[in-house]
Structure formats: structure tokens, C-alpha cells
Amino acid sequence: AKSIREYHGKKLASRWLSNYSNLVKYDLEDRAVLITPNNVQPDNLLSFDALAVDNPWLLTTKLVVKPDQLIKRRGKAGLLAINKSWPEVVAWIRERMNKECKVEVVSGILDHFIVEPFVPHNQTDEYYICIQSFRSNDEVLFYHEGGVDVGDVDAKGVRLSLAIGEQPTIEGVSQALLEKIPASRKEYLAGFIVALVKLFRDLNFVYMEINPLVMTDDGRITPLDMAAKIDETAHFLNAAQWGSIEFPAPFGRAEFPEEAFIKKLDQSSGSSLKLTILNQFGRVWTMVAGGGASVVYADTISDLGFGQELANYGEYSGAPTLQETYDYARTIFDLMCRHKDPRGKILIIGGGIANFTDVAATFTGIQKAMKQYRDELLENKVDIWVRRAGPNYQEGLQNMRRTGEALGLPIHLYGPETHITAVVPLALGMRNVADYPEFDAASDNRAMLAATKSSGDVTADVTPSAESAVSTPVAAAGEHAVANLTPETRAIVYGLQTVAVQGMLDFDFMCKRSKPSVACMVFPFSGNHYTKLYWGTDETLIPVYTTIAEAVHKHPDTSIMINFASFRSVFETVEETLQFSHQIKTVAIIAEGVPESQTRLIIKHAAEKGVGIVGPATVGGIKPGCFRIGNTGGMLDNIIMSKLYRAGSVAYVSKSGGMSNELNNIVSRNSNGVYEGVAIGGDRYPGSLFLDHLLRYNDNPEVKMMVLLGEVGGIDEYAVCEALKAGRITKPLVAWVMGTCASIFPYEVQFGHAGAMARGDLETAAAKNSALQAAGAHVPRSFDAIGEKIYEVYSNLVSTGVIIPLPEPPVPKIPMDYNWAKRLGLIRKPANFISSISDDRGDELSYAGTPISEAISADIGVGGVLSLLWFRRRLPLYATHFIEMVLMVSADHGPAVSGAHNTIVAARAGKDLVSALCSGLLTIGPRFGGALDEAASMFMTAVDRGEEPAAFVARMGKEKKLIMGIGHRIRTLQNPDMRVKLIKEYAQKHFTRTPVLDFAMAVEQITTKKKATLILNVDGCIAACFVDLMRSCGAFDVAEANELIANGCLNGLFVAGRSIGFIGHFIDQNRLKQGLYRHPWDDISYQTGL
């Protein structure tokens, strides 16, 4: 949900409200001007005059003017001028524009103003109305009085709740909201509210407050003041209605150009890239992977008393590309190094345990930025602290260490053996670094060290082990929407997600399931087929269908749909899945960015069908030893490290997917492991709630204790509090709500997830932590201490006999995928092909090590590209121009030559371009075009021997060999071939030396005395000049030049050039629509009697 300017909110209402009116077409005032630094300059009155020319009503109407920058209570702050003329408005704006203004505790620059007509009215004409969306309903709050002194409308207003799908009616609105409105106005005002609610829903508003809403005696309704938010994720649904709309930063926090850059980068990426500058002069900067992880790092910095030093908030996650990570990192580095601090700067590159992001790959972008900003980082005394884990993290940390050493940058590295936020107090100098060993690739089994761990806090000395055989008596299990997972549970995967499915199959095999948990996949964009995957070391085939219906019908044993559809299509695919609710009982929605209106409909329909929903915006969930959804749990090494191949006694539920993997790690190191874990998703309205899963766990006798990881925003944690108080939850619950740092900010900050923003004191992390603790949950002093609290509760359960640790089972073996093992450097294999001229594996294609962007920006031309691909060298400009000249002069020699003739005949026979081109190319050989290589060999061999031209000609005659490159059908020295003339002159002008060309020209002087047409032809001239070029340009030694010529590059030039002409003849024949060619019989000499 993003706040929009009042100007845009009113424009949307005035533009579209009439579409939702039934009997009466409500016509709202649409005259308004948004004044910004882009359309006026305070010192230039002409810019204001131009606005009046475009909006002549400004000169004839009394006006209202106020800042339009998400400022609350502008009237009380003296930021409102009413009943003013245009000159008075101009003077009022000029007095304030680009000036700093303090509103309550926030100071900011005034630079956006809205000007609109003044509406004369009485106090009794003012009303208050607010529409908000909630999980299962939309609510209209109304009060019969409005204005700046309306007071506590929450307490005294009246409400109308509209369930999702329930349409408002004039009668219903009148009865619920308008009891104190004069009868003469009631029906008209009720119709307006009905239309406004419809507009609110269809345009995907999530909040709209109008105060006052004025209705005058003439029946005119005008919103005088509006605050609104819309669901940004619905842009693909409402782009046409919204038009060009902006989401301004809160007042007091002007948007930096760098923030706009990252926002644009995020919009064009499939990854998540967020950046908010909190204090550009701050010492502590963060670059955190993961929405949940970004919150706990900010929390820890704040909890340790460094909140005012926190410079930024943001995240990069979802497997960003090398270029995206580089752009993000260089943006952070550039901002961090702008303002020096004598104490130096601290950069924390943090993150949880990734589920699927290749850590080494993302670090490559950061390392590239480090190299670019090395001097600035050293000059600003930046101390870098890294904590990361997940796929390929070992290689990533090792590469980061090597980069730091090479650049001389101070870098401290930690992996999953160190608590996720332990680097924060270390970086801030609040812990002894010697107590926290850095990452060592050779050691994988050190105990996790929490930054706040202290001796004497743990109630018992217990070694974590396997699950307990003791069952605690609990009440009979109730009905739960999300189905419990079993070793027989099977799923349908929507989307061709072979990597995720292979990960699920590997987990199944590790857990000794009898058959794969994935029955099939659904992919509508190709026909039914099978995809080959591995079951252990054996290959297996997984069917892929084009429709959900066929998948469900052919696999009646499936009960879960794992939906990887994009945010654009997930609604339709889930709605289709719900048609099979007799079989599919749980749907996991992976996609982020699903519009809230669609999510709420999915939740409603799923509840009606008795289907449980996990997500949207989730990685899924995992039941150790049993089943995992998609990429949950990450790579196999993390599954083994967190002991997810067998069940423990602790069940958790989390908002964040990345933090759920971190919980797997924390729980496994502080108890006997995870029994089940679910990430419900970071959106504002997750399909299932914390309580849904906690009740499942509470009713399961195998679960002995539970963990809840919530976050700022929403009120779902309060339902857990009520369940604790009512005794519905009876098992120990360790709970923590992330986002405690929000209290240090004087304005709203949107944290990593869509739902992570408090809309009132009740939704703050601090309030929810207090409520959970008061209700009986075990709440640690900070997230950093959550592992300690888990250990404390677990130890108590062990000491009281509730949990009896069992011996640890053997770690199962699972074959590693070849490509991943090779990437980790565990195996090697001879390549089937070797290529040294191009590389398409990175973010950008490169030719002989030169990125394609660099080749284009340097304007090296076709000759330069050819030199890179053929010779693996960047040749001098004169050399690449010569190559281009050769291509030009050899491109065509008319339609009569054999190659062009063949191409034309093939084209007229209806053959395709490639076939016709091949027909022409196959004629190239010793008799046509293929003499270049042999001419070069003859001339350069003679020169290398020191042979005189006359001796050379005599020797060739004695050996009865034709001199390649000598001879033309009609040209003579007096009637030269212009192509030869141009090539010779260019070589003599630009090459440093031309011994082979000089030799060939001397041979020409001898041969033309025998016959005038025995001149140096274009083939011979190109061959001689090319040898001279290769030997004299400085890029090759003589041996290298000779080898390249022997490999056929000269004939290659002719083939490349002549292909241009052949393609031209093919296009020409098709353009002329020439029919099948048949050679005339009178041009054939029939000699049948031979």
C-alpha cells in the first residue's frame, strides 16, 4: 500500500466516479493544479503566468492552496490558505516554496502544492468519511460532522462493514451511516458513498479518508481534503485508470535520486531491490539480503543504541543478477563515501540462509563494486562485516576474503555457524572479536555463537538430539484448513520448475520416502510431455500437463498444489485449482506482488471450499523427514546442517521465507530440531494466519514446543494472544515480532515485506511483543537472543521429561547434482568442446574477453568484431578498416559468377535463404574465390626465401604451376581493376611496411610482359596485403600470422564478404518474384553421339 498525493487521489475520483453512479451521475470538481519545481520557479513570475494561461479558471475563481506532501493536519500547522485570489496564492507559494518547514516533530522542504477552487459552505455541510480494506471486508467509517476539529472519529463515528463481494446499497448505507443526515440529503449522499466504495474497490485503493466531505444545498459534493493509499502491486490491473501516478516519500524524507534509481531497477527486475536513505550522514550502512533479514539487522542496530547512526534501510533478494547486485552495491558505496566521518564507517553485508539464491554469484556483483570504489572505501575508513549463508556460500565468502586481501580492505567474514545478527555488536565494537572465530571453509561444525549469549541463562546442560518418543496429552485435534503433511503426501507443481522439483525429490530420497512427493507439473505453454529428473542416482520421468484439470484427474493421490505462477496469473490459476477442492486441500502460492484485492478473494473462496492457503509471497514450508514445499530449506548441505532430514520436537511459523531458513538453523542448534516449519508469507494478507498453524501444532502430540516469528504491521499476533489467554494454546510458545526499530523513525518506513508497516500503535512490534509476553508467551529481550530463549524452554522440557532426547541417526547420503558439484569445485571432467573466442555465461556476452557493450561503445565496427572473433586480438583501427574494405570489395561481383548464379537459381526454385546461400557458397574453391589462401602462401613463401620476382616466375613456369592471384579476364595495367587500385593505395598509405605486396607488384610487372591481362588481381592483392597487415600491425609475431593464414582466414574473408552479396541476390529474386529457372535448350550443346 503506497500513499499518493491528494491531487492524484482527487483526480482519480473525479475522472472515474461517474462510471460507478447508477441513477445519478456524480460530477466532482476536477479543476486542480499541482505546483512542483518542474513547472514553476519561485523567482520567476512568468512560470506562474504560464500556469494561468493553461488554467484560466485560476484568474476568475477564489482559490484554496496547501502543500501536497503527505502532511497531516495542515490546517492546524498553518499550511492552508483559503478564499484567495491567484496573485495571493502565488505570493503564498513563493513565500514557502523550497523552504524548510517543521510540522510537529518532522522537518522537511515544501516543494509540492495543490491549488483548487474555494467552495463556500456552512459548517453543517461538512462530513467525515473513511474507507479502508481489511482481510475479509471493506469498512466505511462515517461521521455527520467534519473538518479539522472533528475529534476522535474512531470512537464516535458509525461504521458499515461490507464483506468481500458484498455490494453496497443506498438503503444499507442510509441505515448504517446517515441516521443524523437531513432527510433531504440522505438518498443523494448515500448514492455518492455507494459509487465511491465501488470506485475504491475497482481502482484498488486500500485507504481513502476525506475530511471534510462537503455537500452544499445545491447538491454539489466536493472532497475538500483527501488522504489515500493504493495497492501498487495492482499496477498491471489498473495502469490505464491510474495514468501517470507517483508515490512520494513521506514528508521530512525527500526521495534521493539513488532511491529512485533502485526503485526503477526493482520495477524492471524479477528480484526484490529496495533502498531507503534514513540518515545520509550516518556511520552504519547495511546491504542485507532478504526482507525479513533486513528488518532484524535494523532492529539489532537500533536495540544496541545506534538507531540514529543507521544510514539506510533496504534489501536485495530473489536471486538478483550480477549487474543488479553491482548496481545496488555501487549505489550504497557511492552514498556511503560522500560524507567523511573521522571515526570511519561501518558496512554490514548481511543476510539469512538463502533458500535458492547463489550467494557466490550475488557476491560477484558486490566484489566488482568494491574494486571500483576501493580508493573511496579506504579513504573513508570503511570497516566491512559480512555474514551470509545459503547455496554456494563457502565459495562466496572465500571469494570475498580474496577480494578484501587483494584490495587491502578490512573484511570480517562469518557463515551460518554465527548467529545472523552477531556481526552487528561485533561491528559496533560491543563484543570481543576474539570470541567469535571468522568463517573457516575447513570447519563446518562449530557451535553457533549468539552475540548476547551469556553463561548461567540456560536452565539445563542438554545436548540437542533427535525427536522424543514421549507424547504429551492434549485435547482432541480440531479441524484445520491447512492439511497436515505425511510421508504419503503428494503434490502438483504449477510451472515448469525443474530445479525446485529436483530439490524436492532429493529431499524425498534423503528422507527415504517410498515415492516422489511431486506427482506431476502443469505448464500450459507446451504440449503434454515428460521431464527427466533424478531419484537418487536413477533417472525418473515426471509428467507435465497443460491443464490443471488433467493433472488432478490423472493423479488422484495428490492433495497439494504448489503454485509458481507469476503475480499476473496466480489469481486465475488458484481459482481454477479451487474447482478441485474435493482433492486439493492445500495451495502454496509462491509469487510476490499479488494484488491485495485478488489475495482477499482467494482467501474467501478457499475458506468456502475448505482449502488451506500458504502464501502469497512465501518460500513454502517443510516437515523434516517427510515433505518440503519447493525451495524451502535451501540446498542439501543446509538441510543436513539443520538436520531437516529427521523430525525434532519444535514447530515454528514465520512471516519471512528467508528467516524461516534461519529459524531452521537456530532451532537445530538450540534444540533437538524442527518438527515442522511454515512461512506464511510477507504480504499484508497471508492466506493462512499464525494462529492457524499454531493450533495445528498444538493439536499434534509430536510437537512439544512452538516458535512464532512475526513482524511489524497487522494484528494477527493478537489472535495468538487471545488463544494463549483462553487456554487454546497449551504448549510453550517462544515468540518475537520483528520491526522494533520502527519507533526510532519520525515517518513511515516500508520494511522488506508488503505487510511490514504499522498502521497504528497496535501494529507496532513493541506493542505486539508486550502483548505476547503478557499473554504467556516466552519473549526474548531481542531477536538476537531468540536462540537462547529456545534453548532455555527446550532444556526445561527435557529436564521435566516432556522431551526425551534420542540418539542422533546417521546422516543420510544423497547424490549431488553434477553441475552443482562442479561449481563447488568438488569434481572435474574434461569438456566436450573448448571455445576461446566468446563467452555467453555471464550477464553479458563477451567477444575474446571484451564485453559486447564495450565493443559497441568503442565503435570498433564489424572489422573490430571480426578481429576479436577470428584472431582474439583487438587490432588497430587502420587494420579493422582494411578488413571492412575487403568485405566491401568482395561482397559481390555481379549475377553472372558461379556463386551468385547458383544462389539465384536456388532462390527461383523456392528454396529458403539458408539453402540458397549454401548453394552459392559451395561453389567457392580453387576456381572461384578460393585462391586467396594459396596466393598468400605462394607470395609470402617466396619473400621469406628471399627469392627474386623473376626467379619466382621462372620457377613456377618450370613447375608448371599457375601463380595464384595473377590474371584477369579483361583487366590490364592500362585498364586496372578499381578494387585492386583502392586496396593497394590504402595498404601503402597505412601499413608500416608492405614487402609481400611489393613482391606481388614486381611479379605483375614480369607477367604482364607475357600477356597484358596477367595482372595482380583482387584475390592476389588482398592476399598480399593481408599477409603484410598480419605481420606488421604488432598484434602477432610471424609464426602466429603464418598459422592464422594457414588456418584459412583469408578464404574466410571472401566467404564473409560474398555472403553479403549472395543474400542480396536471394532477396532481389524474391522481390522481383522471379519464377523457376530453366536453362534454354539452345544454349546447350547436345552431344549425344559421343
- Cβ neighbors of 1043 (< 8 A, separation 6 or more) are none
| Neighbouring C-beta atoms of residue 158, cutoff 10 Å | 15
Find out whether 528 and 548 touch, Cβ atoms under 8 Å: no
Contact 1019, 964 (CB under 8 A): yes
189: CB partners within 8 A, 6+ apart: 127, 178, 181, 215, 221
Calculate ∠ Cα 289-292-295, nearest 5°: 90
Place of cell 568503442: 858
Nine cell digits for residue 696: 495445528
Cα–Cα dist 890/893, whole Å: 7
What distance in Å separates the CA atoms of residue 855 and residue 243, rounded to the nearest whole number?
39
Q: Phi/psi zone of residue 617: left (φ > 0), alpha (ψ -120 to 50 degrees), beta?
A: left
Residue 1004 has a CB neighbour count (10 Å cut-off) of 22
d(CA 58, CA 64): 10
- Asked about 753 being catalytic, the answer comes back as yes
State the Cα–Cα distance between residues 451 and 255, nearest whole angstrom. Answer: 34
Which distant-in-sequence residues (6+ apart) come within 8 Å of 1044 by Cβ? 870, 871, 1030, 1036
Decide: residue 958, CB within 10 A, 0-12 exposed, 13-18 middle, 19+ buried: exposed
Tell me the C-alpha distance between 626 and 673, whole Å.
Answer: 14
Cell of 588: 502454496
- List helix spans (H) across 164-224: 170-177, 183-202
Residue indicated by cell numbers 521435566:
800
User: What are the φ/ψ torsions at residue 706 (nearest 5 degrees)?
Assistant: -130, 155
Residue of 995, 1016, 1026 lying closest to 885 (CA atoms): 1026
Whether the CB-CB separation of 681 and 675 falls below 8 Å is answered with: no
Evaluate the CA torsion angle 801, 805, 806, 807 in order and state its sign.
Answer: negative
Task: Identify the three-state secondary structure at position 633.
Answer: coil
Residue with cell 458509525: 158
Residue (of 430, 192, 203, 211) closest to 309 by Cα position: 430
Closest Cα to residue 404, out of 359, 435, 363?
363
Gap between the Cα atoms of 300 and 782, Å rounded? 8
Considering 112, 412, 753, 968, which one is annotated as catalytic?
Answer: 753
β-pairing verdict for 558-563 and 490-494: parallel
Helix ranges (H only) for 946-1075 are: 949-958, 978-990, 995-1010, 1018-1032, 1038-1046, 1049-1071
Burial class (CB within 10 angstroms; exposed 0-12, middle 13-18, buried 19+) of 609: middle
Burial of 138 from C-beta contacts in 10 A (0-12 / 13-18 / 19+): buried
| In contact, 419 and 431? CB cutoff 8 Å | no
Closest CA to 781 of 745, 744, 735, 743: 735
Strand partners, 928: 925
Query: Rounded to whole angstroms, how far apart are CA atoms 666 and 662?
Result: 6
Residues marked as catalytic? 753
